[in-house]
Amino acid sequence: MSYKVGIKTPAQHCARKGLNVLGIVEQNLLISGLVFRATLIAMSSGYALLRNNLSGAAQALRAYHTPRSNTPPSDSSDDHWPDPAELHPHPIWITSHDRQVTWGNNAFKTSESDFVATCKHWLSIGQTEGRIQAHSGAGSICWYDITAQLQDHETLWFASPVDGEVRAEASRREFIQTMSKTFAQLSTGLAIFDRKRTLIHFNPALLDITGLDFESLSLKPDLATFLDTLRGKGFLPEPKDYNDWRDQLAKLESAAENGSYRDVWEPRDGVTYRVSGKPHPDGAIAFLLEDISAETAHAREARAELCLLENALNAVTTPHVIFDGLGAYVRSNPAFQSIWPELAHKKSAEKSLSGCLPLWQKQMLPHGAWEKMRATVLGCGDRKGWKAVLSSKEGRPFELQCTPLANRHTLIELGPSNKPAIVTHQQSVA
């Protein structure tokens, strides 16, 4: 890299041209400092050192033009005072009207020629700022934000390193790509809105669930527009008026921010979605839409079957009670409650097998059927159905029948019988 001879420093150069080097350098230091201040906010604390360097360079520039005493400095003061621009840790250089480098500080001289080629190209197309990849003097790759200040027929250039920012952006892109690949495989619809409530990410499942097109979501609509579109497709109920819709939107957003939003959307018959809102890093919120249509259909079928069973059980005139595999009370019919009024008003826990057996045994003569019933209900013995005829202490015959049901449930029938007791209390049930 070559430089024109005869120009020692920016101060001497600009003095010859009638330029105010202090104003130029300090102005651009300010611009550079603003750039790096923004970088510091977004990136790591490692740029604090850089900011201090810039501040030091600015102080040096002011000191350079401040006399040591009341006596004005002579022309030879340049030999005693360091050039402030040389103290700047990052490249600064000047180009002439014909795009030739007329001066560069030490940081510029120790760098490669990437800056020269870039500034020549930018001047040819009228560009004065941008980001480039350059080679450092050690041969490593560095990123710089370059700005230019036009002064008459010359241009003052500044290069500010942004390696940390570039690495952070690359990491963010990699993270988003990883998330995108992961979420692309999910059947749950995902929509993420940033702190400004702009859509920044969605997965293919969201398109399948909502019927929204990729182009409209790629325009990054805000949350209100997104929900309004879903409302138009019938996912959300039609509000009474605009104020009501605005209130609904505010409540939904607030609930999502604290992770308490839970709702069920039924845009059409037979289709049900579980919707949840969750907080996301940096003030963002995420909405998840899960298709629970099959789960809901199964639950409805189960409720319908349970209702049918209850109706059928209530229609039977003989007393019946159902226990689960742990002996817990499940359900009984009115006839059972009529025969055993002592159990009718007790809590479910008191109507378990362990709660019923003492009552039954207290009113009946001893019989081996009680232990067999216990083994059948708890699954400790033969799960086949069986019958027995017992006798109360008053001599009245009672019929006992155990019928195994699905899911380890057992149906017990116990009530008065017209049949005489053929098994005495000394005998057991086979």
Domains of the chain in start order, with CATH, are 10-70+77-164 (3.30.450), 186-295 (3.30.450.20), 308-416 (3.30.450.20)
Average pLDDT over every residue of 292-296? 86
Question: CA-CA distance, 306 to 309, in Å (whole number)?
Answer: 5
Q: Are 219 and 229 in contact (CB under 8 A)?
A: no
Residues 6+ apart with CB under 8 A from 278: 256, 259, 261, 285, 286, 287, 288
State residue 311's pLDDT score. 87
Question: CA-CA distance, 168 to 318, in Å (whole number)?
Answer: 76
Average pLDDT over every residue of 312-339? 90
Question: CA-CA distance, 279 to 240, in Å (whole number)?
Answer: 29
Beta bridge partners of 150: 155
- The per-residue DSSP string of 95-148 comes to E-TTS-EEEE-HHHHTS-THHHHHHHHHHHHT--EEEEEEE-TTS-EEEEEEEE
Beta bridge partners of 388: 400
State residue 411's pLDDT score. 93
State pLDDT tens for residues 233-257.
Answer: 888 777 766 677 677 778 888 888 8
State residue 108's pLDDT score. 80
Q: Is the pLDDT of residue 386 over 90?
A: yes
Reference 109, options 73, 70, 146, 136; nearest CA is: 136
CA angle 381–385–389, rounded 5-degree value: 100
Helices within 347-403 (DSSP H only)? 353-363, 369-378
Maximum separation of any 2 CA atoms in the chain, in Å: 136
Question: What band does 53 get if pLDDT is binned at 50, 70 and 90?
Answer: very low
State residue 38's pLDDT score. 37
Question: CA-CA distance, 254 to 248, in Å (whole number)?
Answer: 10
- Provide the token pair at 202: 């969605």
